[in-house]
Structure 1
Amino acid sequence: MTQSIRIDLFTDIICPWCLIGTARLDQALATLPEGVNVEILHHPFLLDPSTPQEGENTRKRLKAKYGGDIDAMQARVQTAARDAGVPLDMSVQPMSYPTIMPHTLIRSAAPEHQYGLAKAFADAYFLEGRNITDKELLADIAAEHGFTREAALTLIEDEAENDITKAMAVSASQQGINGVPFFIFNNQFAISGGQPLEVFQRAFRVALGEEELT
């Protein structure tokens, strides 16, 4: 008998912990038995809605926001990423960019393409050091995940669609989602952050009714 799990996933493309969290989720997905169908629906979240269109230096942004030792902060993220199997080098991408356009594409994609598209944008940003405000780049990636290039370009050039994305991100914050990644399982319970594999595996057991939520 086929069993189904729905995950509502809130992430931002420029969030390194989202990269780590989705890698851990992928590891947990790989351990599920046959006959379990998982639907992952993406929702936009903006880490910093004030990021200028031309982008800004990530280290300067972090220093202004948090202070402290930015080298140590980024080293912790890199170590966690590599533990999750992601070859993250924070020096590859020194810039933070606004993410409204890629979020517009992700939320507008067919449900079966949303998760893969979001991961592809994150890989392009973090692992390849690409500028994710580049419309041609976004269209190229979207074309590998259910869009035509023309449809993708039309969508991200539509300010009404981008305004919907902004409103959805604001709504997420108003609902109490203040950090990402944030995973809601079957509209019943949530986990947040780049949690260890075991946490996701337990979440799946709870979602399948194999274990009580305590």
Structure 2
Amino acid sequence: MTKTLKIDIVSDVVCPWCTIGYKRLEKAISELGLEDRVNIEWQPFELNPNMPADGQDLTEHINEKYGATLEQQKASQAQMAAHGEELGFTFDYFDNMRMVNTFDAHILLDYAKTFKKQTALKMRLTTAFFSERQDVSDREVLKQALLDVGLNAEEALAKLDLESEQKKIRTEQSYWKNLGVNSVPTFVFDRKSALTGAQPTDTFKQVLNELL
């Protein structure tokens, strides 16, 4: 029997390095022809669990959280845009861009899991945020993303206000944090070993070869 590998990706939809890391992993899987042998599941991690509903100016947020000056932020954004371009992903940073609350997005990603549409929804949301200047905490934007990947938007959105669903996501976030995951992306292989950060494609290839 052919061995398959489960990869849990602990991530947030507004995390640029999560997108870069995933695209590099995807490239490694594709170049090794392992699409049928890898099962990816996205796990919730809010970079900013206390982000208010109306979000916060991105420049101000990054300065407050990491102490990065405007010049440092611009340099970092240019670097991410270049990495994205190499991987076929557009990072469109703009003036007055806002960091937003992602809790609802995580509830919807959990819903999408049942229909094997998690990766499709994850990439739809991250594209909406980084490439299309959309607010992924806005329920109309979330509704459109669900429709775009072929999910039942009405059924999915109904879960957002259920206490049981909210509790489930908080419990899952605590589970990963208690395991020591404190930065994203974190890639967990068969729940035995892990890699943190947007590793180069070759590193992912090496790990996939060793594990498969």
Aligned to 2:25: 25
Residues 6, 38 of structure 2: 8 Å contact kept: yes
Aligned partners of 1:179 and 1:192 also within 8 Å: yes
Give 1:15 deviation, angstroms. 0.4
Q: Distance in 1 between matches of 2:115 and 2:179?
A: 22
Give me the CA root mean square deviation.
2.0
- Judge conservation of contact 1:3–1:36 (CA < 8 Å) in 2: no
Distance 1:54 1:179 in 2: 24
Look up the match of 1:114.
118
Residue 16 of structure 1 corresponds to which residue in structure 2?
16
CA drift at 1:50:
1.2
Closer, same or farther: CA 193–93 of 1 in aligned 2, 3 Å: farther
Amino acid in structure 2 at the alignment position of 1:77: M
In the TM superposition, what is the alpha-carbon distance from 1:45 to its structure 2 partner?
A: 0.2
Say which is worse superposed, 166-175 or 43-52, in terms of deviation: 166-175
Q: Residue 76 of structure 1: CA displacement?
A: 2.5
Using structure 1 for the length normalisation, give the TM-score: 0.88
Amino acid aligned to 2:11: T
Question: Which residue identity lines up with residue 194 of structure 1 in the other structure?
Answer: A
For residue 123 of structure 1, report the CA deviation from its aligned partner: 0.7
Q: Which residue number corresponds to residue 84 of structure 2?
A: 81
User: What number of residue pairs does the alignment pair up?
Assistant: 208
1:36-51 matched pairs, under 5 angstroms: 36-51=36-51
Q: Distance in 1 between matches of 2:203 and 2:87?
A: 13
Q: Secondary structure at the match of 1:112?
A: coil
Q: By how many angstroms is 1:93 displaced? A: 7.7
The separation in 2 between residues aligned to 1:78 and 1:67, in whole angstroms, is 21
The one-letter amino acid of 2:175's match is S
**Of 132, 141, 145, the match for 1:141:** 145
Alignment gaps of 5+ in structure 2: none
Corresponding residue to 1:97 among 96, 100, 104? 100
Alignment partner for residue 196 of structure 1, among 182, 200, 208?
200
Residue identity (%): 29
Instruction: List alignment gaps of at least 5 residues for structure 1.
Output: 209-214
Q: SS at the partner of 1:184?
A: strand
